[in-house]
């Protein structure tokens, strides 16, 4: 039985590999070979990667693809996407091409406000706390000036600080609910530093101003930003006359428009469908966020909370037919950054931003929203016409052939064959077996 290890983080990279290979894999030599295979030959670049996180033993690669022909607010983009799932880049590209000659995508920033909170418990009189906060509110701004000075020169800073009484949800629970503008930075470190200063000010002023009477107490539990940013919002949309919504040769534009609207209505009525519907949107969103060095876990959490803001889980996209025009749009919260973090360190992230023509944070929000909308449009277009599997399985074909260790000649033959035939896993296996039998 493998025993716990002490001081793993202090081991050299080679010793970490040896330990994990010998204790947790069946073939230590093969494990070591695989891990080393993904090291970068450039030692300086590899060291950079090693220092991104702790206990690094190798690199984990994801495909880096390009979805071209995105016309956004009359500006043409090629969008980089980092993702492992088949058909995502192809679907986004197909949607971009479809809308290229129909006016492209239109976007608008609805807000850029980010949120942080100081959570604390106070056992005294709530009216006394409210009076205290009104009297000392300016101190929270003043005593954080050393943190906000640089951000303010860039047009950002603290927007508001308010006291919220949360005792109806949890006894004695209050919070300082704070909003921030962080410009092109994602701003997590800035926000958290400000919040910790607010906590210090709160505790110090509470003592000085006599807020805490005998038998009462005030205790700060934590100070942390929120990844739920409903007011850091972007809208993206497409529209065209119904007559131009020719999604499939066997389905009329009128029927296509009707079924697209119905598909969104179903996602709004049925959470089981809404989750998969929104997952498809996030295929596009996450791929661009990852390629540009942003935090896709934070975005995912905030987006799904936003989808449930009404109390039920709904579609992130909407569709309508009005006066002969089909419209399809999304409103999505995206707290993104284009400076700091990996954007200045990771060469591929830096390149992704260059490919996107070095967007500001607001511009990147719009690009990412478009990627999500395009992905959803492509998915629904398939679902309401041919079904999702026809296109997806053709994109997945090479994965199946690689699993079966097909040669390059076999791949060429079968890719050609499945251009005109339905590609299911069993059909690919059967076709490959027949091809090999005939050799």
Q: Give residue-wise pLDDT tens across range 250-259.
A: 899 999 999 9
User: Residue 86: which pLDDT band, with cuts at 50, 70 and 90?
Assistant: confident
Q: Given a cut of 70, is residue 439 above it in pLDDT?
A: no
Task: Characterize 270-297 residue by residue with b for buried, 16 or more Cβ atoms within 10 angstroms of its Cβ, and e for exposed.
Answer: beeebeebbebbbbbbbbbbbbbbbbbe
Q: Pick the catalytic residue: 184, 196, 237, 295?
A: 295
Residue 53 is given by DSSP the state: S
Q: Note the helical H segments in 25-165.
A: 28-37, 43-50, 88-100, 126-142, 145-153
- Ramachandran angles phi, psi of 250, nearest 5°: -95, 5
What digits encode the pLDDT tens for the residues 418-435? 777 777 777 778 777 877
pLDDT at 392 over 60: no
Task: Please tell me the predicted confidence (pLDDT) of residue 218.
Answer: 96
Instruction: Give the span between the Cα atoms of 116 and 225, in whole angstroms.
Output: 4
Residue 400 and residue 428 in contact, taking contact as beta carbons nearer than 8 Å: yes
CATH 3.90.770.10 placement within the chain: 64-107+238-379
> What is the chain's mean pLDDT, rounded?
93
Q: What is the pLDDT of residue 282?
A: 98
The whole-number average pLDDT for the span 108-114 is 97
Assign 95 a pLDDT band (cuts: 50, 70, 90). Answer: very high
3-state secondary structure of 41: coil
Which residue, among 240, 278, 263, 258, has the nearest Cα to 375 in the 3D structure? 278
Question: Going by C-beta distance under 8 Å and a sequence separation of 6 or more, which residues neighbour residue 331?
Answer: 110, 233, 234, 235, 316
Instruction: Name the percent of the chain lying above pLDDT 70.
Output: 97
Q: Which of 353, 392, 394, 396 is catalytic?
A: 392
- Burial of 21: CB neighbours in 10 Å, binned 0-12, 13-18, 19+: buried
Residues of the chain with CATH 3.30.70.420: 114-226
Residue 85 annotated to the active site: yes
CATH class for the domain made up of 64-107+238-379: alpha beta
**pLDDT > 90: percent of the chain:** 82
The residue among 310 and 406 whose pLDDT is bigger is 310
Is pTM beyond 0.75 here? Answer: yes
Q: Which residue has the higher pLDDT, 210 or 285?
A: 285
Is residue 263 pLDDT above 70, yes or no? yes
Question: Of 140, 191, 190, which is closest to residue 163 (Cα–Cα)?
Answer: 140
Other Cβ atoms less than 10 A from the Cβ of 333: the count is 26
Predicted local confidence at residue 308, as pLDDT: 98
Q: How far apart are CA 144 and CA 190, in angstroms?
A: 11
Mean pLDDT of 41-53: 93
Give pLDDT, residue 390.
Answer: 57
When pLDDT is averaged across residues 103-114 and rounded to a whole number, the result is: 98
Q: Is 272 a catalytic residue?
A: no
pLDDT given at position 357 = 97
Q: What is the pLDDT of residue 400?
A: 79
Q: Among 140-144, 230-234, 274-278, 412-416, whose mean pLDDT is lowest?
A: 412-416
What pLDDT shows up at residue 3?
Answer: 86
- Does the pLDDT at position 99 exceed 70? yes
279 catalytic per annotation: yes
Check pLDDT > 60 for residue 389: no
Query: Pick the catalytic residue: 279, 304, 327, 411?
Result: 279
Specify the 3-state DSSP secondary structure of 372: helix
Alpha carbon 404 to its chain's center: 33
Topology (CATH) of 114-226:
Alpha-Beta Plaits (3.30.70)
Mean pLDDT computed over 51-62: 95
Q: Give the pLDDT confidence score for residue 393 in this predicted structure.
A: 57
Longest dimension (CA), the chain: 92
- Average the pLDDT over 330-357 and give the result: 93
- The string of pLDDT tens digits covering residues 175-224 is 999 999 999 998 999 999 999 999 999 999 999 998 988 889 999 999 99
- For residue 115, which phi and psi values (nearest 5 degrees)? -125, 145
Report which of 81, 84, 175, 33 is spatially closest to residue 367, judged by C-alpha positions: 81
Residue 272 has pLDDT above 60, yes or no: yes
Rounded mean pLDDT of 235-239? 98
Confidence of residue 40 (pLDDT cuts 50, 70, 90): very high
Residue 413: what pLDDT?
Answer: 79
Structural Rg of the chain based on CA atoms: 27
pLDDT tier, 395 (very low <50, low <70, confident <90, very high otherwise): low
- Whether the per-residue pLDDT at 342 is higher than 90: the answer is no
pLDDT of residue 175: 98
181 an active-site residue?
A: no
Query: Of 85, 216, 270, 318, which is the active-site residue?
Result: 85
How much is the pLDDT for 188?
93
Q: Decide: 148 and 195 in contact? Cβ < 8 Å.
A: no
């Amino acid at each position: 039985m493998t025993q716990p290890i002490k001081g793993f983080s202090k081991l050299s990279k080679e010793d970490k590999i040896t330990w994990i290979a010998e204790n947790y894999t069946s073939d230590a030599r093969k494990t070591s070979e695989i891990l080393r295979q993904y090291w970068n030959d450039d030692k300086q670049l590899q060291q950079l990667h090693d220092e991104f996180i702790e206990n690094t033993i190798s690199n984990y690669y994801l495909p880096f693809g390009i979805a071209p022909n995105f016309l956004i607010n009359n500006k043409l983009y090629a969008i980089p996407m980092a993702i492992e799932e088949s058909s995502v880049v192809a679907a986004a590209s197909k949607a971009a091409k479809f809308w290229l000659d129909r006016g492209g995508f239109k976007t608008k920033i609805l807000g850029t406000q980010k949120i942080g909170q100081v959570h604390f418990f106070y056992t005294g009189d709530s009216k006394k706390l409210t009076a205290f906060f009104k009297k000392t509110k300016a101190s929270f701004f003043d005593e954080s000036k050393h943190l906000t000075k640089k951000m303010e020169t860039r047009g950002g800073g603290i927007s508001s600080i308010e006291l919220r009484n949360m005792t109806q949800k949890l006894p004695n629970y209050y919070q300082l609910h704070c909003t921030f503008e962080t410009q092109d930075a994602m701003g997590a470190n800035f926000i958290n530093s400000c919040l910790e200063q607010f906590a210090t000010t709160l505790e110090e002023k509470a003592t000085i101003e006599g807020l805490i009477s005998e038998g009462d107490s005030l205790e700060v539990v934590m100070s942390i930003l929120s990844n739920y940013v409903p007011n850091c919002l972007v809208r993206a949309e497409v529209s065209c006359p119904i007559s131009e919504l020719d999604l499939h040769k066997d389905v009329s534009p009128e029927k296509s428009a009707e079924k697209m609207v119905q598909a969104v209505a179903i996602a709004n009525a049925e959470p089981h469908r809404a989750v998969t519907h929104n997952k498809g949107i996030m295929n596009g969103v996450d791929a661009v966020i990852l390629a540009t060095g942003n935090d896709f876990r934070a975005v995912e959490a905030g987006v799904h909370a936003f989808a449930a803001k009404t109390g039920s889980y709904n579609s992130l996209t909407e569709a309508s037919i009005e006066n002969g025009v089909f419209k399809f749009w999304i409103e999505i919260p995206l707290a993104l950054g284009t400076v700091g973090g990996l954007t200045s360190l990771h060469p591929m992230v830096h390149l992704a931003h260059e490919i996107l023509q070095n967007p500001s944070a607001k511009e990147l929000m719009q690009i990412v929203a478009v990627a999500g909308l395009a992905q959803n449009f492509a998915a629904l277009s398939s679902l309401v016409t041919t079904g999702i599997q026809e296109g997806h399985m053709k994109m997945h074909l090479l994965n199946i052939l690689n699993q079966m260790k097909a040669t390059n000649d076999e791949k060429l033959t079968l890719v050609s064959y499945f251009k005109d035939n339905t590609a299911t896993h069993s059909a690919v296996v059967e076709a490959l077996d027949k091809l090999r039998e005939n050799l």
